[in-house]
Structure 1
Amino acid sequence: MTKTALITGATSGIGEATAYEFAKHNIRLIICGRRLERLKTLKNDLEKQTDVHILNFDVRDRQATFNAITTLPEDFKTIDILINNAGNAHGLDPIQEGNIDDWDAMMDINVKGLLYVSKAVIPQMTERKSGHIINIGSSAGKEVYPKGNVYCGSKHAVVAITEGMRIDLNPYGIRVGAINPGLVETEFSKVRFKGDKIADTVYTGFKALQAEDVADVIYFAISRPPHVNIADVLMFCTAQANSTIVKKEN
């Protein structure tokens, strides 16, 4: 039977790569994001391989999130797989110089947005007593690094929420896991550094993870037999030892 997956933050990076990976395996897709034109372009391409529905909303907006998911057409209403991928980082400042708007953006998207989408989807999973949730965390959810303060806090929250979900949803047979990547070469740094040229140097001198590498691991997790749950994955590129140690070529 064809499964249906809902992916947030699907218009770029890990979310987009996951949509393409799932399409290859004939998984029906609900792709979500704020950029409608990108969603339309992605839908046109993905439809060569699978059925696709787009939802254009911002996960920070609680009402818009619930409204969007209630509008799903009959063929897409049953969500078997939820990929909570939408997330961001803003700024890299010491705590005393941090921008409160940046803090709000990270907590609203990385934590509250994940919760809003989950709250909109989980009730149908508990009713059916089946489903699979993958939350995209970060190595920043495993360790704290200088000037990472609030971003690291938001991703530590993702790890804790994932563990709480797994405990609470255990009686319903719902699988819950987190995939926590280190440095991934996407638009992420451009957002974090607000277009500053320093973003172009983040991935120089070494081969960072690519979005497709993370998508491979996500597909591996959701394609295990029903009795297997990949609960937690921390993944780095070979050059990265932890959040502060990266082997770069001169």
Structure 2
Amino acid sequence: MAMAAFKPSGELLVGRTRFNSKLSVKPTVRLGHFSLIVRSNNSDVKVGSDSGKTSPKRGQVSTWFDETYTSWPEVHRVLTERNMRSIECQEAFKLARSGKAILIDVREPQDFRKIHAQAAVSVPLFRLIQGNSFKANLRRLGHALITDFAGTERNPEFVSQALSAVNGNKKKTVVVMCDVGGTLKTIVERPGIKPKSYADPERRFGRASRSLRAVYELQEEGFSDVFHLTGGLNTWAYQDLPTDEED
């Protein structure tokens, strides 16, 4: 199998093929999603669609794959300052059953089809890589070389699909769920005869998840009543709450 090598100069080597660039290349693997992030060495580069005239928002990252998103540490900071509300599965089930809330599942469509919470609506934050451009194929190659996961990219229709799920009503109560939920907590609590709590260096920014990122994205777009589901679908299923599965 061909191996990929990355050099600080911005050269990407895949097998015997060399790609030259003035950009620095940094591969990262996180939460099952591989991202080949290419940042400009030029400090004057601006993030935005207005011909480079828009100043970047705090914590924004722009990639070589024409994606701009907010870094997890910044998402964590903002959600913490906003006192983001998490909700337990049983309460979320009651709200959804009564019609008082919409369950939005932000996992990939193929995972949603296999199993999902009953009455949940699929609004994926990521999708399988689309198109056959050089960048799209290079991204697929990165996934094939470094991970066992299918290549994914940000879903550009995430917000519009979320709006459709609530019939355009941004004031509608929304509960966002993924597989595991993630957390903003930076303190680990150990129950027992002598319970203790401590700051875990690995949880300086909690534990990132698709649902937490999705809560941030929806809030940024003006959704005013957004909850995060504690424990995600894994906890939902463990508590034997109703699910629909692929036949």
TM-score bracket, normalised by the shorter chain, equals: under 0.3
Q: TM-score when scaled to structure 2?
A: 0.26
Name the larger-Rg structure.
2
Between Structure 1 and Structure 2, the one with more strand by share is: 2
Q: TM-score when scaled to structure 1?
A: 0.26
Between Structure 1 and Structure 2, the one with more helix by share is: 1
